[in-house]
Each structure stands twice: as C-alpha cells, then as structure tokens.
Amino acid sequence: PLYSSAASDVYKRQPMGLLNIDEFYTPLLTFLDNTVSHGFLATATREMLLDASTPNELLDALEAEL
C-alpha cells in the first residue's frame, strides 16, 4: 500500500469522518474504493474514513469505532 510507514502507525485505529451531505463526497469515496480494489490503498486505511449523511449518524459511527 502507498500509505504505510512508521509515521503512519500514529494514525492507525483513529477513524476520520466525512459529513456526506447531498452525496457531495460520493465521488471521492468511490475513487478511494477503486484505489483499494486496484491495490493502491490498504483496505484497513480506507475503513478508517467513515461517512454519513447527517451529523448524528456520523458521530454515532465515529463513536462506535472508539
């Protein structure tokens, strides 16, 4: 994977969230999914980026990862 180094260990298991209102970030998420399927991005790295269409859903998803 492109995103793997000793420095990246600091960020492991730290979820990030996108508030995907009106599917604004859907093209980015699709791109990231494609990078996983082509081997450029690790699945575990992609799974760290959560998305939801409402603030409450996103907060719930982030909280579930902690």
User: Which comes out higher in pLDDT, residue 6 or 56?
Assistant: 56
pLDDT in tens, 10-58: 556 688 999 999 999 999 999 999 999 999 999 999 999 999 999 999 9
Phi/psi at 23 (5° precision): 60, 30
A 10 A CB-CB count for 3 gives 14
Q: What is the pLDDT of residue 29?
A: 97
Calculate the alpha carbon distances from 33 to 25, 29, 63 in Å.
Answer: 12, 6, 23
Q: Which residues pair with residue 18 across a beta bridge?
A: 51
